[in-house]
């Protein structure tokens, strides 16, 4: 079965067909590195990762490009507000480049912990200013720009299909005035390609350009860097849904104005992760980071598992109760896999069968095919997870076969199933004397409970909790786990 993707451009499911047979050019908008990524941002990167993994498993050679925004992004995507990087640097008493380096490292530490495969090309905006200038010159030469107040703007009325991605109507846009509009703009939806007259007295980084010394508008970096690494036309572009009306709309306008050709064929947008209390905002400083989940005792893969439980095009509500549910489910999954691994002499390799292979017709194959269908129908990870569960719970499937298929499925899910089975469990790495102490305390707690001394029983539970040991009572007795 071919891969179907929901294309925001056209708002419909479409069968994916690459420009060049067997190859995929994919660009996903990367982070603005003025602060830690919040767990909502990380949802976008897990979505990109699932897409890339699914394409590679289907046999495509994928070039994945991600930008790092270290200049030019104002707090409003429509050129309003303050410069995010400069503001952060001032608040922290550092230079913009120090801030960028610090949060870029933090970003990749997070993505690594989430088992997100590093993009083929990671490109920083500040290292591609000349590419941006060259692209802006092409846009200018084709008559799409005007100068005002020292800045260079893109004139959206010159681009008749402006707003097609977001289904915006040019007539409505002309009429719609907004507050805080840059008075140099002829139309409030025009956007800056190059700023020379900075609104900010102490703009940290500026470059010489044909329009004067200044710095680029935010959108141009994605057009310039994607074309540099993927060519003037490429297959897929992704980002969060917030980017549809402004950032991606403007990226399309300026790219197609420069080349006169269609730029990107498929637009993939992930819905937002929301908190029970509402929107999460990186600029307000009030948000959850991956580290805050780790500090609360969760494994980053619990969060990945939680994300896989929702379809990328549905809004997902985050709560610690829901994350707790994902942790228990992931643990139960690993327990079942350890059980299956115990029945094998060695861990099998991922089943190398062609995803569409009809050669082996056993029950394992049925789950495998259903899993592939789920992924190929617009990356349905919730359905894919259900197939993984069906497979490993099915007692009619031989352990080694079930594991081999599960490991193959994990090439898309990215839950590190095989790697974890080959590592000793966290509990096994503890000092044996400490394990003895835990077991003695559990025995004492059981005796206390028998004697109805619940106060002592609770004391012991809390004492162990302080040492990161969690007790779980069940009809079979009390088991313990290390909180990792
Ligand atoms: P930024 O670093 O602010 O440019 O955002 C990085 C990525 O995260 C972009 O693709 C955004 O669209 C996406 N994003 C921002 N907030 C959320 C959220 N709450 N849930 C999912 N994706 C988000
Ligand atoms: Zn972008």
Ligand positioned closest to the Cα atom of 315: 1
Q: Does residue 21 surpass a pLDDT of 90? A: yes
Q: Where are the domains of the chain?
A: 4-270, 319-422, 432-482
Ligand positioned closest to the Cα atom of 45: 1
Would you mind telling me the total number of residues written for the chain in this entry?
484
482 CA distance to ligand 2 middle (Å) = 41
404 CA distance to ligand 1 middle (Å) = 35
Q: Give the mutation target among 48, 222, 242 for probing the ligand 1 site: most ligand atoms within 8 A of CB.
A: 242
209 CA distance to ligand 1 middle (Å) = 31
Residue 357 is predicted with a pLDDT of 54
User: Mean pLDDT across the chain, nearest whole number?
Assistant: 91
Residue 473 is predicted with a pLDDT of 83
28 CA distance to ligand 2 middle (Å) = 7
Q: Give the mutation target among 31, 34, 40, 77 for probing the ligand 1 site: most ligand atoms within 8 A of CB.
A: 40
361 CA distance to ligand 1 middle (Å) = 43
Ligand positioned closest to the Cα atom of 69: 1
Average pLDDT of span 137-162? 96
Ligand positioned closest to the Cα atom of 31: 1
Split at pLDDT 50, 70, 90, the class of 474 is confident
| Nearest CA residue ID for atom 2, ligand 1 | 31
Q: Does residue 1 surpass a pLDDT of 90? A: no
CATH of 4-270, one of 3.30.70.20, 3.30.479.30, 3.40.50.300, 3.40.50.620: 3.40.50.620
Average pLDDT of span 218-246? 97
Tokens representing residue 19 in the block: 């420009």
Q: What is the pLDDT of residues 269-294, one digit of tens each?
A: 999 999 876 666 666 556 899 999 99
59 CA distance to ligand 1 middle (Å) = 29
The binding-site residues of ligand 1, defined as CB within 6 angstroms of any ligand atom, are: 29, 31-32, 40-41, 43-44, 239-240, 242-243, 270, 272-273, 280, 282
Q: Does residue 254 surpass a pLDDT of 90? A: yes
Which residues, 6 or more positions from 13, have their beta carbon under 8 angstroms from its beta carbon?
A: 4, 5, 6, 7, 378
Residue 282 is predicted with a pLDDT of 65
Split at pLDDT 50, 70, 90, the class of 480 is confident
Which residues, 6 or more positions from 20, have their beta carbon under 8 angstroms from its beta carbon?
A: none
Average pLDDT of span 25-47? 96
Average pLDDT of span 161-181? 73
394 CA distance to ligand 2 middle (Å) = 44
Residue 277 is predicted with a pLDDT of 65
Q: What is the pLDDT of residues 313-335, one digit of tens each?
A: 999 999 999 999 999 999 999 99
Tokens representing residue 183 in the block: 């008075």
Q: What is the pLDDT of residues 333-375, one digit of tens each?
A: 999 999 999 899 999 999 876 555 555 558 999 999 999 999 9
Average pLDDT of span 141-167? 95
Q: Give the mutation target among 44, 48, 222, 283 for probing the ligand 1 site: most ligand atoms within 8 A of CB.
A: 44
Residue 472 is predicted with a pLDDT of 80
439 CA distance to ligand 2 middle (Å) = 54
Q: Does residue 258 surpass a pLDDT of 70? A: yes
Other C-beta atoms within 10 Å of 321: how many?
Answer: 8
Q: What is the pLDDT of residues 38-69, one digit of tens each?
A: 999 999 999 999 999 999 999 999 999 999 99
Across 111-115, 128-132, 134-138, 442-446, least confident range: 442-446
d(CA 203, CA 200): 6
Residue 301 is predicted with a pLDDT of 98
d(CA 244, CA 249): 6
Across 163-177, 422-436, 442-456, 460-474, least confident range: 163-177
| Nearest CA residue ID for atom 18, ligand 1 | 40
CB burial readout 61-90, b (16+ within 10 A) else e: ebbbbbbbbbbbbbeebbbeeebbbbbbbe
240 Cα nearest atom in ligand 1: 12
Tokens representing residue 443 in the block: 């025995």
Q: What is the percent of the chain with per-residue pLDDT over 70, rounded to a whole number?
A: 92
Q: Give the mutation target among 68, 110, 240, 270 for probing the ligand 1 site: most ligand atoms within 8 A of CB.
A: 240
272 Cα nearest atom in ligand 1: 20
Q: What is the pLDDT of residues 189-230, one digit of tens each?
A: 999 999 987 666 667 788 999 999 999 998 999 999 999 999
Q: What is the pLDDT of residues 71-104, one digit of tens each?
A: 867 766 777 777 888 888 888 888 888 989 999 9
Q: Does residue 148 surpass a pLDDT of 80? A: yes
30 Cα nearest atom in ligand 1: 6
Tell me the C-alpha to C-alpha distance, in Å, between residue 75 and each of 43, 69, 125, 325, 373.
Answer: 21, 13, 17, 35, 41
Average pLDDT of span 249-269? 98
CATH of 319-422, one of 3.30.565.10, 1.20.120.1910, 3.40.50.1110, 3.40.50.2000: 1.20.120.1910
Residue 179 is predicted with a pLDDT of 47
């Amino acid at each position: 079965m071919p891969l179907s993707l929901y294309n925001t451009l056209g708002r419909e499911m479409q069968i994916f067909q690459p420009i060049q047979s067997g190859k995929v050019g994919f660009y996903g908008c990367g982070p603005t590195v003025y602060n830690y990524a919040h767990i909502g941002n990380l949802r976008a990167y897990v979505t990109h990762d699932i897409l890339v993994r699914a394409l590679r498993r289907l046999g495509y050679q994928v070039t994945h490009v991600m930008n790092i925004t270290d200049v030019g992004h104002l707090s409003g995507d429509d050129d309003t507000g303050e410069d995010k990087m400069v503001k952060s640097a001032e608040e922290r008493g550092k230079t913009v480049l120090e801030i960028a380096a610090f949060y870029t490292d933090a970003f990749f530490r997070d993505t690594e912990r989430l088992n997100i495969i590093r993009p083929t090309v990671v490109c920083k905006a500040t290292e591609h200013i000349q590419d941006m200038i060259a692209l802006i010159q092409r846009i200018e030469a084709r008559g799409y720009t005007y100068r005002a107040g020292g800045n260079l703007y893109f004139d959206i009325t010159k681009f008749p299909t402006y707003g097609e991605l977001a289904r915006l109507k040019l007539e409505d846009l002309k009429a719609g005035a907004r507050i805080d509009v840059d008075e140099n703009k002829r139309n409030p939806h025009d956007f800056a390609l190059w700023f020379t007259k900075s609104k900010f007295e102490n703009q940290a980084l500026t470059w010489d350009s044909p329009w004067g010394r200044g710095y680029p508008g935010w959108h141009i970096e994605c057009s310039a860097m994607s074309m540099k690494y993927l060519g003037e036309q490429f297959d897929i572009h992704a980002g969060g849904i917030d980017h549809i009306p402004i950032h991606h709309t403007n990226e399309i306008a300026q790219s197609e104005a420069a080349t006169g050709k269609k730029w990107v064929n498929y637009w993939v947008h992930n819905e937002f992760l929301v908190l029970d209390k509402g929107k999460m905002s990186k600029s307000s400083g009030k948000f959850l980071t991956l580290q805050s989940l780790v500090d609360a005792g969760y494994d980053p893969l619990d969060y990945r598992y939680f994300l896989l439980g929702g379809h990328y095009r549905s809004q997902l509500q985050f709560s610690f109760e829901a994350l707790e549910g994902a942790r228990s489910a992931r643990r139960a999954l690993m327990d079942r896999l350890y059980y299956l691994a115990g029945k094998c002499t060695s861990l099998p390799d991922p089943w190398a069968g062609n995803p569409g292979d009809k050669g082996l017709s056993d029950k394992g194959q049925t789950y495998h095919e259903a899993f592939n269908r789920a992924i190929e129908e617009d990356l349905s990870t919730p359905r894919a997870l259900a197939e993984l569960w069906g497979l490993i719970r099915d007692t009619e499937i031989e352990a080694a076969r079930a594991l081999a298929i599960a490991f193959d499925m994990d090439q898309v899910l990215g839950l590190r199933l095989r790697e974890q089975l080959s590592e000793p469990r966290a509990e096994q790495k503890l000092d044996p004397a400490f394990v003895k102490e835990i077991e003695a305390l559990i025995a004492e707690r059981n005796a206390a409970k028998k004697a109805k001394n619940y106060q002592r029983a609770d004391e012991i539970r809390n004492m162990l909790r302080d040492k990161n040991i969690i007790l779980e009572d069940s009809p079979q007795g009390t088991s313990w786990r290390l909180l990792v």
